[in-house]
Amino acid sequence: MKGGWLTLLVVSTALPALGEVRLIWSDAPVQAPLSIVPGQVAPRMPELEKATTQVDNGDFEEAIKTLQQGLSQPDLTDDQLAEMYRLLGLAHLYLGNEEKARDAFEKLLQARPDYELPKSAPPKIRGLYARIKEDVKKRRVRPVTLSIPVLDPVPGGLPVQIPAQIEDLSLGARAKLFFRRAGNQSYSSVDFTRKKGSKEDFTATVPAYEVPVEETGYEIEYYVEVADAAQRRLAGRGDAFSPLSFRVNPRVTEGPAPELSRPWYKNPWVWIGIGVGVAAVTTTVAVLATQKQTGTLPITITIEGM
């Protein structure tokens, strides 16, 4: 170790996520103690390291395959996205595919709008990147706008379609619907899909099994979010802490069948009344028939015309 310094980076067991101890040989003396900030340490990305070596060695086709595998991984940081898209653009450009290189550099700018290529990049690549950056800048004069209607109460047991209008959706950006039953902690999500033949009209569907029919009504909370390739929010309506909502109506119960009107002669009260009347008449006749005659009443009958 003549003339050099041995820098020993020891990672404390209090930071198990870092998980490694490195011995780094350097010809330059250490100017200041090394401090570790856990929040600034990103997880290692084997695909990124492999692709970097492949590009350096001129193995561009294999580098593209490696980068595509890396880009499919979840929870990538903005820096990792930017570096992978930079390498992807380089590989495509070296292979003569300027269209795919442009697409990669556009996604790089979506992940890191302020990204600048290193000064060591070849002039051809720097020129293409500068043109793409200017094109993207012009297209982003208008921000992404999102409009969704107020939802009326819906019946249970049927899928619920939520429409949206999204203007100036940038390349690589996606719109998602997040929803949950009121009172639950976690949200489910579905993607918005563009309506056929339209550039601005989108719909997202809450499956029927998420809104079952129940005896009592309930609320579904939801919010809409448009995010770029780096999962940064570009536009939205509501959020996880202040969601929108719509009501699911309760089950409709059928009451007893209405009683049909009956003919008068089928009404028992009619016959009860008639029976009372007949009984009264019979009683009167019986009384008159049993009374003793106390005198005679002359009756005169006159027949006209005789």
Residue at 280 is within a domain: no
Q: Which two tokens stand for residue 27?
A: 């010809």
| One domain, residues 151 and 128 | no
pLDDT value for 152: 94
Q: In what order do the strands lie in the sheet with 145-147?
A: 145-147, 160-167, 201-206, 193-194
Residues 150 and 244 in one domain: yes
Question: To which residue do tokens 């390349």 refer?
Answer: 171
The answer to whether residue 135 is domain-embedded is yes
Pick from 79, 107, 139: which residue ends a domain?
139
Amino acid 286: pLDDT: 47
Residues 116 and 175 in one domain: no
Residues 119, 69: one domain? yes
The DSSP element (H or E) to which 26 belongs, if any, is: strand 22-26
- Residue 213: per-residue pLDDT: 95
Structure tokens belonging to residue 165: 């209008």
pLDDT of residue 210: 95
pLDDT at 66: 93
- CATH code at position 128: 1.25.40.10
Residues 116 and 186 in one domain: no
The residue segments making up the domain with residue 197 are: 145-248
Q: Which of 107, 139, 171 is the last residue of a domain?
A: 139
For 203, which DSSP code? E
Task: Read off the CATH number of the domain in which 156 is found.
Answer: 2.60.40.10
CA angle at 165 for the pair 163 and 171, rounded to the nearest 5°: 120
Q: Where are the beta strands (DSSP E) in 168-289?
A: 174-181, 188-191, 193-194, 201-206, 218-227, 233-237, 244-248
Q: How far is CA 218 from CA 224, 247, 250, in A?
A: 20, 6, 8
52, 89: one domain: yes
CA-based nearest residue to 235, from 246, 226, 243 = 226
Residue 36 C-beta-side C-alpha neighbours within 13 Å: 17
Residue 259 contacts residue 243 (beta carbons within 8 Å): no
- The amino acid sitting at 251 is R
Name the burial class of residue 112, with classes exposed (0-12), middle (13-18) and buried (19+) by CB atoms within 10 angstroms of its CB: middle
In a domain, 230, yes or no: yes
Is 32 inside any structural domain?
no
Examine the domain organization and report whether 93 and 169 are in the same domain. no
233-237 and 22-26 as β-strands: parallel, antiparallel, unpaired? unpaired
Same domain, 152 and 244: yes
**pLDDT one digit per residue (tens) for the chain, 306 residues:** 444 444 334 333 333 333 443 434 444 443 333 333 333 345 678 889 999 999 999 999 999 999 998 888 766 776 787 888 889 989 998 898 888 888 888 777 766 777 888 888 888 888 888 888 777 666 644 567 888 999 999 999 999 999 999 987 776 788 999 999 999 999 999 999 999 888 899 999 999 999 999 999 999 999 998 887 667 677 788 888 889 999 999 998 766 665 655 565 556 665 555 555 555 545 544 444 455 555 454 555 455 544
On whether residue 226 sits in a domain, the answer given is yes
Total domains in the chain come to: 2
Is 243 part of a structural domain of the chain? yes
Domain match, 132 and 165 both: no
- Extract the runs of DSSP E, i.e. beta strands, from 183-217: 188-191, 193-194, 201-206
Domain ends where: 230, 248, 266? 248
Asked whether residue 129 falls in the same domain as residue 207, the answer is: no
